[in-house]
Amino acid sequence: MLYHLLYPLRDLIGGFNVFRYISFRTIWATLTALSLALLLAPWFIRKLQEMQMGQHIRELGPQSHQAKAGTPTMGGALILFAVTVSSLLWGDLRNFYLWLALGVTLGFGAIGFADDYLKKVAKRNEGGLSARAKFLLQVLVGLMGAVALYLHPGYNTQLAVPFFKFVTPDLGWGYVPLAVFILVGTSNAVNLTDGLDGLAAGPVLIASATYLIFAYLAGNIKTAAYLQIFHVAGVGELTVFCGAIAGAVMGFLWYNAYPAQVFMGDTGSLSLGGALGVVALATKHEILLVVVGGIFVVEALSVIMQVGYFKATHGRRIFRMAPLHHHFELKGWAEPKVIVRFWIIAVILALLAFSTLKLR
């Protein structure tokens, strides 16, 4: 919005020319979202406590988690507020990708919100939306996002394969189911990861900062040509969006860091997963999300393997408990150790993802 209000005045006030630059607007989008989340969180956490939006803890899990009972959840609503305000303030509001990213993020956020709210009403961790209803709604939001992308003029349905610059299969309409799978899969994978203080927020912060760079590179015709990656006209604006996500999540993490004063709830985890998914698709770095979001992939795989094995063997397990973070907790690692080690791995994965720009 500031871009539309202030950039036209550049002839009167020369300094306003700076609003043209994605880099400038991204820095300020990050700082705005960070400040909103940081400053509003104490008030927001108090409100959640007053509304008794406290977490109910499963009895089955590691016993240390019982101490977390009553921690306010739904902190994701504050993340979404900060992301939306900051993106609208600093983004170019004529940009398709900005609206698409916001729409998909808020769509998944709405599903998470419904789930969190129903859990609060039921006063049980398992009392939210039924798994089936949740999945169908996720597919619906994912499908709307995927079709919007598919129909957008100038967006191509070729797939970029990391390490192989000449392998770019064109999936045509087949891109739509793949996009739905990526959106729904990422949303659920971040949700599964969100089981220790800061365990989802840290890697989401690292992944959004990574995609911030990819959005910038793919949106700029010169850097895209130089690196031989797909150029997507207009996608540079997602740099601003990624900055807003990174800023909001950083501000939230201040309070979600161990020992957490607030959890993001499904409102946060489903929407942030959706946000990463849509940015990966729009920037045409879809498959690379397996690397950038490797923590989420491994957490989700640990659940799939554990549940599959558990069913096939009538009750035997591969891990002490799935998702994987519970396995390490039950092995005796202190919670902060599991969290920080997962963050370190997320940084390594981000570096590996950047290296694919040259290793191809």
Binding site for ligand 57M (CB under 6 A): 55, 57-58, 60-61, 65, 68, 73, 125, 191-192, 194-197, 256, 260, 263-266, 269, 303, 306-307, 310, 317, 321-323
In the complex, least distance from residue 82 CB atom to ligand 57M, rounded to whole angstroms: 17
In the complex, least distance from residue 48 CB atom to ligand 57M, rounded to whole angstroms: 11
Q: Which C-beta is closer to ligand 57M: that of 222 or that of 311?
A: 311
In the complex, least distance from residue 34 CB atom to ligand 57M, rounded to whole angstroms: 19
Q: Which C-beta is closer to ligand 57M: that of 72 or that of 145?
A: 72
Token readout for 264 is 């993001």
Q: What is the spatial distance between Cα 277 and Cα 301, in angstroms, rounded to a whole number?
A: 17
* In the complex, residue closest to ligand 57M by CB: 61
Residue of 143, 223, 186, 132 whose CA lies nearest to 299 = 186
In the complex, least distance from residue 313 CB atom to ligand 57M, rounded to whole angstroms: 11
Q: What is the spatial distance between Cα 196 and Cα 202, in angstroms, rounded to a whole number?
A: 11
Q: What is the spatial distance between Cα 186 and Cα 351, in angstroms, rounded to a whole number?
A: 20
Token readout for 277 is 């998914």
Q: Which C-beta is closer to ligand 57M: that of 213 or that of 321?
A: 321
Token readout for 104 is 């998909």
In the complex, least distance from residue 94 CB atom to ligand 57M, rounded to whole angstroms: 35
Q: Which C-beta is closer to ligand 57M: that of 189 or that of 289?
A: 189
Q: What is the spatial distance between Cα 94 and Cα 4, in angstroms, rounded to a whole number?
A: 9
Q: What is the spatial distance between Cα 244 and Cα 251, in angstroms, rounded to a whole number?
A: 11
E-only strand ranges, 45-151: none
In the complex, least distance from residue 68 CB atom to ligand 57M, rounded to whole angstroms: 5
Q: Which C-beta is closer to ligand 57M: that of 275 or that of 357?
A: 275
Token readout for 273 is 């997963």
**60, 277 contact by CB (below 8 A):** no
Q: Which C-beta is closer to ligand 57M: that of 210 or that of 269?
A: 269
